[in-house]
Structure 1
Amino acid sequence: MVQSGCIKEQVSFYEEVADKLSAFRQDSRPLLAKIKNVDRRMGISPRKYLINVIDPFTVYNLFNAYARTSNFQNRQHYMSELKSELAIKAPVPTDLKGISIRSAGPPTFYRTSVKNRRVSAAQQKEDIENLWLLFEAARVLESDDTNKARQTFMNAYDVVLKIPGLKWSLTNGLSWLNLQRYVSLSEYNRRFIQGQRQPVFEKVAALLDNNPPNGGDYLELCDDCLNAVQSEKVPYSSLQDMSYHAWESHGGSVPDASMSDTEPSSNRDSLADDAGVGSNTSVPSDDGTGEKRDGAAPTEATNPRVQEIFEMMTRRHGSPNVILHGAPGTGKTTMAKQIAAKIIRVPDVAALAEDDFRFDFVQFHPSYDYTDFVEGIRPVKAVDSRSGFELRPGVFMRFINKARKDPERKYVFVIDEINRGNISEIFGELFFSIDPGYRGLKGKVKTQYANLHDDNDKKSSSNADKDDSNDWFYIPENVYIIATMNDIDRSVDTFDFAMRRRFRFVPISVEDSKVMLSGAQIGQAEAFMDKVNDEIKVSGLGSGYCIGASYFVNMAQGEETARELWKNELKPLLIEYQRIMPESDGARTLQDFEEKEDQEVDSVEPLPE
């Protein structure tokens, strides 16, 4: 059982946060400013999804979701900064076990998009007002459990439950306000309650078989759970103690982001615009193909194919190595990171930066080689300030060494633009180990520099461990590799056929990429995209030369005109395409289209005098 002191810390801190938030009921703008102050001190990039007001449940979710992993340090760090900003006197809990978090979905409780379409600011503010009304009703009910207070709570609850995507997560938010009064019906707790097989929980378990309960059923459920723990008929001293046991019963790890606390992310943006949170990992924009301009960040709406590829990689006898390939601007890198987030069980792309221990990202290029990737001799500065050389592991070897020490958890390595590097030179003897059929010790190889490994590193405690010494290198079964490549990139003429056998190639089409588009001008952007791609196909170039949706994101959102997009991005790209087929009918087709389009955009949007 959790020590009473730990529960007391949790209850005191979370309730004092609620007390402090109440002061911002009439005007939440100062509260939002304080959140931004915390973010700056934490090194968190601006959260582009936030508007000029905020609700209390979203505030709780920002620090609860800051580290949706089994490591609580980031979460406690954020809570410490928030404690200072809000002048909270209660200590930050030293133990966060049992406190529910959203296992999926965006950081906000108010809607930001529905079916990949952005909602209006007026709708967002209406959601925020309704969330504040529920917050007030819940606080009143804690101290004044009357029929009137209950009815007010139930009405407010039922209104908020209609916000797309919240589902069971609404009960998580209520539990944060008062850990001893409101039950969190997270995936963990639902499974735990349904598995109790005790008469006192039979009625409660029956309410969890279908969709989230309405306000009346939820209050009845809370009452039943409270009566159970207070009657001593169950071995839990409080609701929070029960939640801790639920957490422990599932191994103390965060639920898979695909679990059903929220609606599927294809219906709501994951909105991980703050993907640089506390990260030392270099993550290039979009596909790394150069197609995404400054300010043209694709929305993080999840492509429906992400779930398909995730299942293909993680099912029994699936493929742990995949290459996403397609035309420029189709969001391959974004998809790779979204798949990685699902595999390592973090809720969104932003959380990858927080869990960079189990996620890494590199981008290949023509000068990238074995010493960068696996290991090699590097210049170093000795203690006596004299220069020297020593063997240093590359980025992939460092990553694999971490994964080998942590076999119970999954690790994901993303290689952007894999075909821009010399694959044979970069991977070397790892061609053998990377094969899905040769994961683990059966795929062990000696690296080119094995004879230079420190003798101390080669020692092992038993004969059985000798195969695991630093003389040998292998890729453990808990490592997944996701790569991206452009079909039209000719910086490397051929892709090694030995490597082709070791990866599952997954095509990403320009149609797949349209999920990135949202905004008031989405219809015009899609029509322009189709128009340009139709001309590319007529010219004789293959579908690999079509242009993906990331080029059209700003136009869809009304931040870029068709003329600006055409003059700055699309026309220069088509000119480059013409160099592939000089003096051909296809080139002349594109030239004619350019001239026609120049006239059309200038007639609609004439140049300023």
Structure 2
Amino acid sequence: METKAYLSWVDFYMELADKLLAYKNNRKTLIDKVKAIYTAINMRLPKLEKDNKIVDIDPFTIFGLFNKGITNANRISILRGFAQEFSVKAQVPDSFDGIPVLNNMAATFYCFIGDRQENDIENLWQVFVSALEYANTHSDSSKKTFVAAYDVASQQKGVKWNLTMALYWIRPYEYINLDSRNRWYICNPENMPVDYIESIGAFETVPTGAEYLAIVDKSRAVLEKGNYRYKNFPELSYYAWVISEQVNEENRAAAVENTRVNAGEAIGDKDVHTVHYWIYSPGYGSAMWDKFYEDGVMAIAREHIGDLRQFASRKEMQDRMMECGGDTGTRSYKNASLETWQFVHELKPGDVIFAKSGKRTIIGRGIVTSDYYYDDSYSDEYRNLRKVNWTHKGEWEHPGNAITKVLTDVTSYTDYVEEISALFEDEVSGDVEEVKIEYPIYTAEDFLSEVYMSRSNYDILSNLLINKKNIIMQGAPGVGKTFAAKRLAYSMMGVKDPSRVMMVQFHQSYSYEDFIMGFRPASTSFELKKGPFYSFCKKAELDLENDYYFIIDEINRGNLSKIFGELFMLIENDKRGVSLQLLYSDEKFSVPENVYIIGMMNTADRSLAMLDYALRRRFAFFEFSPALETDGFRQYRQGKDNKKFDSLIATIEKLNIAIENDETLGRGFRIGHSYFCTDKPIDDMWLNAVVTYEIVPLLNEYWFDEPSKVRDWEYALREAIR
């Protein structure tokens, strides 16, 4: 690098170490000065002793106050306080890149009273004094004194590798930092010579004092003579930080890609935020509720593992919890890591929070308004936060017993969410402002870029839905009906707004009571429950300016006359707005004009009865055909650039002609293109798997009474990919 601004901290740290040396035998004054610093900068002093009654302190713990997981702004404030109190002349640093930091859970170099030995703090002072002496003189006597002090202190509980970090803080050019980041970096042959790596060992245990100084000497020799960007320990530590941050960022991106970005992609919901509902406990026994409500926040007590953004995966987070032995009570680390990961990555602005106290009381409702952030100045335990617009505060009886976890996503329990939401329907809160969610724009062009369909067919399909209001997309499995359904709705809406789209799937046991409304068992009797179609129509009725789309997968699997009941007539396009008496309710009900119904059915499903003719005339039918010959699929094939794949598609096209001409099958049994769509690279293993485990079993089903025909086509398919 052209400048070494990242080393601006070195002079300040070294001078502060010299200043602290004067307080070896006057620790009471040192403690008073530290307290005075925090009072002057109006910050809460971290917990440095049981009950915060500090009776002794070591110099490395002093450095740990500003070398742990806190914001740079707070680090600067603390260092300015030290500069003022100890008359440090060096400039206060404003960059801390590459400086090793303590785990917030173990931010002292000693254990608290009751767990530490009598001389533990004194032993740390001996290391501090001898380290400065050896750095200044490099005499044999000072070396011997340092090694002896180091060997004693490094064996104390809670010290170990942190001692090398502390030595680096006070004399960064003299002592190498061997925290996990640096050990990882210098043991990579890309960063240091192989013979050097072999000579320093595998770092399975903390080195002795003599071994540590030997590592220091070997490392300095390599840096001074080698052709590296780093020529000293501070530069080495900085570059180790730079590279590890790059790796961590890649891991975080991969974790987000795996858990979030692809979620819902198959049904068109990639990058779409849907409102989730959460049950939340504001502190142990809801003790923090009043403060959280007043401050407009929610927080989770994970201070012992610091800023939660540092973890690239839930597994990494769980491992750190187990390592630190954080307070998870009777809950397992698995549950603790789940709710913590969700708090950081899955909770989103716009989500609804129901605050609870114990198992039987709801005490408030709010809307999340910010992403996750870490604030080390907020509270001793609650520094992992999100901003919340708390819309309600009070006490409501919880329906049943609430789950005991701190944070739980209850979105999928629709009846439960409705019951809790109903508690607030008649409540009026002062200034209630919902979070406006910006949904992604989605056009017809976006639809055509994802769905292998011609523009003319898209125009036909969308116009059919507009005019008829009810369509059924039919075709063999694998032609992309489900893939296209939500995308069609979004393209006609012009935006990916999932609140205006609902999808259900019919099956043989699905009933009117499931779909519209019916009586269901409750704790002591039966209650009238509203079904998804009823609720969806009522929601659309309040928003007539916008269109709503109700999607039914496998529509021909249900008994449609039984499921739709008296709504059989009301779904017709010219009967929209007409009201009829419902079977289980005194109210009159109509299907709003802005509700469109999209059904999907497999024409190859021979075990199912044909659709009721009365229902058929209420729907328009659009056939989805294999898209192997469309421009979009041709571009997809070109992108894969695989000759065996091209040969397989050519064989499938011939196979589809044979299926269409077969009197027992026909067009509706052709093999769809989605069997051959993948985001992964196409190789021999993938091709063989598609043929062996997807296409051949389908042919066995089609021609179960003609095994010779199956064998012929299986041979042709395997020859295509040989």
TM-score bin (small chain): 0.3 to 0.5
TM normalised by structure 1 equals 0.47
TM normalised by structure 2 equals 0.41
Structure number with larger C-alpha Rg: 2
The higher-RCO structure (CA 8 Å, 6+ apart) is 1
